[in-house]
A and B are shown apart, each in its own frame.
Chain A
């Protein structure tokens, strides 16, 4: 069965600084990997996904993520954080042979002005 770990409950970053939100995964086959963002009392918004190909994936709002197969990681990054990036971020994984997408527990990102 697949699983996702987000080791940090919260990440604090000063505005303008680069940010990283960590994610590691475990699947039996090849993974499909996703990042979603959630604002208070809202559903989830899709940011980006990795299927195959280039390990560096670019997504919405200037976010990108790097797939690292040897480390089974898919960390979310942004070169320069904005206060409006403050939200709850979820990493998710889908095993290529399965239909379900499983989510990590989420990381709350605080961008400090």
Chain B
């Protein structure tokens, strides 16, 4: 199956600093990647849809200046949490859809998630 690598798995940072999380599709090209946020014992909340070579599409209520998303290549998308605060602490999960499958069901392949703790 397709592999999506997410890095780092765990990150602790001080309030006010910025943190970058990388999402890579290792053995396939992904024109579309999605970023989700998961609170404890809750479902995945879609934050934004990232398309290679274009600006991300953010869901309602998600601050695009707070959560910067870049999809510079067909295998890499990054999420940068800028000026992080304790309320940004969460589990962030990326997913990727294989290129050429957007017209079909195209299941998502998920990274292992990144747990961010802001002190």
The residues of A with any CB-CB pair to B shorter than 8 Å are 32, 34, 36, 41-46, 49, 51, 90, 94, 99-106
Contact = CB atoms under 8 A, between A and B. Distances in A.
Interface of B: 1, 4, 6, 32, 34, 36, 42-44, 46, 49, 91, 93, 95, 102, 104-105, 107-113, 115
Contacts of B107: 34, 46, 49
Contact of A103 (B43, B105, B109, B111): B43
B44 A103 contact: yes
A101 B42 CA distance: 16
A106 B108 CA distance: 17
A100 B49 contact: yes
Given A43-B6, A46-B1, A99-B102, A90 B93 contact: no
B110 A43 contact: yes
A103 B34 CA distance: 13
Contact of B112 (A42, A102, A103): A42
A89 to B, nearest CB: 11
A102 B110 contact: no
A83 B22 CA distance: 34
A43 B46 contact: no
A101 B95 CA distance: 10
A41 B115 contact: yes
Contacts of A99: 32, 49, 102
A81 B8 CA distance: 34
